[in-house]
Amino acid sequence: MIFEEEEKKERTNEKLLIDLCECYLLLNGCASSELISICVPCLLEAALKKDESEETRKEKEIALLALSHIDRHYCLRQELYLKEITEIIKNHQEHRNLTQLAYQSAWSYLICRSYYCKSLEDVVVNELHFIRESIRELEELWKSVDWKRKEEVNGRIEVMIIRRWLNEVYDFFDSSMLWNEEFAGLIGSIVQVFRAAKGNNGVICNLCIYSLRNASEKRVVRVEDLLKSGAIDAVLDEMQRPKLYDNIAYECFQFFMNVSKKLKEKTDNKMEEVKRKATKMETFEKLEEEGYEDTIACFHKIFEFINKKYYDDLSLSISDYLVNI
């Protein structure tokens, strides 16, 4: 039906084609390249409408939500989407003309494209200011939720959008190649969400821990970013819970093993080496103050068990999880 509508010389029912494209992508993110080449321009055009009515806002939301379902493995030609999605994001930043879900969906579509197209990083970070926007959106969203009313939390659309933003931040760190001074703020926003959701929404807390572990293993993220953002405190707090699921324990161990590896990487640059040692001492003092060594020691006997159950890359040597000055 999509092909038939596209082939009509005089398209008398434009909305039908939009509806068909939305339905197809929402049901099947792994669409054929032929259909993608029809659906993407069609839905971007729908999302670019200037009308500010409530009905149009909803149409934009559905169109962008459908686009965000396109699998990240599709390497689309930039001329098929970049100008339009950039304009959509910039228009919202200037006029606030999208819903929160629509705006997040626009970013989701673009971040998925940047996963395999590293040249997009400059557009994402410097032109469209992904880090700044993510921090602001996450703060607005978590503050709008009454986390203590557990019966309402799971049904709130804001919580669903927070989950989607956390996934985008996770993917952003996967694709990022250059360090940015705003990294600490972005990681700090994840910590804020974690603190707000702790004890009230396990799914959000787990996503935060996954994201912090992912950030810790990226070379572009520095230990200073993890210290300044409060990430080290947050992960240690999670490890000290009375009940900790094995998969989350794995993520926490991996986080601290990544921190330890970063602090052991020496450099020939004397200034950088002095800075590394200072960061190492600061990290050591922080962990010592919070009882980190005792926490790690009490988990030591289950490293091998968790490796067998989940992955096979946790070190069985306790010294790999400790900061040695």
* Model confidence pLDDT, tens digit, residues 169-201: 999 998 888 899 999 999 999 999 999 999 889
Residue 197's pLDDT is: 93
More confidently predicted of 265 and 182: 182
Q: Which of 31-35, 92-96, 134-138 has the lowest mean pLDDT?
A: 31-35
Residue 52's pLDDT is: 81
pLDDT confidence tier of residue 220, bands split at 50, 70 and 90: very high
Q: Residue 9: is its pLDDT beyond 70?
A: no
Instruction: Evaluate if pTM is beyond 0.75.
Output: yes
Task: Please tell me the distance from the alpha carbon of residue 46 to that of residue 18, in angstroms, as a whole number.
Answer: 8
Residue 267's pLDDT is: 84
| Tens digit of each residue's pLDDT (9 = 90 or more) over 284-317 | 999 998 889 999 988 888 888 888 887 778 888 8
More confidently predicted of 247 and 313: 247
Q: Residue 118: is its pLDDT beyond 70?
A: yes
Q: Residue 103: is its pLDDT beyond 80?
A: yes
Give the residue-averaged pLDDT of 137-154. 87
Q: Which of 35-39, 82-86, 104-108 has the lowest mean pLDDT?
A: 35-39
pLDDT confidence tier of residue 224, bands split at 50, 70 and 90: very high
Domain locations in the chain? Answer: 1-113
Do the Cβ atoms of 2 and 17 come closer than 8 Å?
yes
